[in-house]
Amino acid sequence: MFRVTKAPLDVPRLLRAVGDPRAGATVVFLGTTRRENAGRAVVRLEYEAYASMATAEMRRLAAAAARRWPLRKVAIVHRIGPVPVGEASVAVVVSAGHRAEAFAACHWLIDRVKEIVPIWKKEHFRGGEAWIGLQRAAAARRRAARRGRR
């Protein structure tokens, strides 16, 4: 199961999607926006996706993980639209024969999802709003500039 959805994440459904009689281990990652982010009181979040490419990238990442580790099944789902603070916006679920692979693949997948899958977060906080990717890129440029000056 690879999708972007406006609905709250349904973890039991995701677990059924990765169910497999040869799976001894299932690892689930859920990402949630914290109420405080970088010192700002986050009120609301909104996610936008390039939906068709996002699900295509999720499938490609799952296929890459399955080449790297012996996995049974993978599911990746990301919410889009408004997400209340405290509710999960992304789930990565991996089943495998053994737990070391399930942990390693799940961790690798969420790292790659955050780098690669075309989804953007806009934070609405007290006093404003900001697209998060831009900010991170600007912060990275500022850090690079400071390093350059030393």
Partner 1 sequence: MRVRLRFFAVLRERLGPGGERSVAAGTTVGALWDALVAERPELGAVRVRYAVNERYVERGHPLADRDEVAFFPPVSGGG
* Rounded Cα gap, residues 5 and 72, in angstroms: 24
Q: Give yes or no for residue 17 binding its own copies (CB under 8 A).
A: no
Q: Is the separation of the CB atoms in 23 and 96 below 8 Å?
A: yes
* Residues of span 36-65 touching its own copies by CB under 8 A: 36
74-113 footprint of partner 1 as x/- string (CB under 8 A): ----x---------xxx-------------------x--x
| Residue 13 interacts with, from partner 1, its own copies, none (CB under 5-8 Å by kind) | none
Q: How far is the CB of 120 from partner 1 (least distance, A)?
A: 4
If the CB atoms of residues 126 and 146 are measured against its own copies, the closer one turns out to be 126
The correct pick among 52, 84, 86, 143 for binding partner 1 (CB under 8 A) is 52
Helix, strand, or coil here: 34?
coil
Q: For residue 119, which amino acid is it?
A: I
Q: Is the separation of the CB atoms in 96 and 71 below 8 Å?
A: yes
Strand partners, 119: 49
Taking every pair of Cα atoms in the chain, the longest distance, rounded to a whole number of angstroms, is 57
| Residue 47 interacts with, from partner 1, its own copies, none (CB under 5-8 Å by kind) | partner 1
Helix, strand, or coil here: 108?
helix
* Rounded Cα gap, residues 150 and 145, in angstroms: 9
User: Contact residues for partner 1 (CB under 8 A)?
Assistant: 24-25, 30-33, 47-50, 52-54, 56, 78, 88-90, 110, 113-122, 131-134, 136-137, 141
